[in-house]
Amino acid sequence: MLAAATASILLVGSGASAQADPQVGGGPHKADASCSISPSPATVGGTYVLSATGLPALSPINLFVTDPQGNVTGSPLGETPDGTFAMNESSALAGTTTYQFTGLVRNNTQIYATCSVDAY
């Protein structure tokens, strides 16, 4: 089982993790992209908020999720007018789940921000 994303996008967030190059990307965005998870750690099956800021505005964003067993799933999130996303998530398995916000830059995948949560 994988962490399941719900459709609620809140437009909230802060935190720090991976960084993006502001000179590369589809649309205008802040110098640094980051993501955070709250609360972290989390309980198995409990809801937490996955947030990202500083993503390219008006450019397609994808989310890749790696579950504690190493299974990876990807899904399109669409575009954001201000470079932020926030959504409710949960981990179905104990262990570390990792989230990567990505997009295409010159036909190559760019990782904008990465964050993880430990579920117990």
What backbone phi and psi angles, to 5 degrees, belong to 31?
-65, -35
Alpha-carbon distance 48 to 95, whole Å? 15
Domain that holds residue 107: 34-119
- % of the chain exceeding 70 in pLDDT: 74
Q: Is residue 113 included in any domain, yes or no?
A: yes
pLDDT at 32: 87
Q: Is residue 14 included in any domain, yes or no?
A: no
CATH (domain of 89): 2.60.40.4070
Q: What is the mean pLDDT of residues 20-26?
A: 40
Confidence of residue 31 (pLDDT cuts 50, 70, 90): low
According to DSSP, residue 82 is labeled S
Q: How many domains does the chain have?
A: 1
Query: Using one digit for the tens of pLDDT, what is the confidence trace for 33-77?
Result: 999 999 999 999 999 999 999 999 999 999 999 999 999 999 999
pTM of the complete model: 0.75
Pick from 32, 33, 82: nearest CA to 59: 82
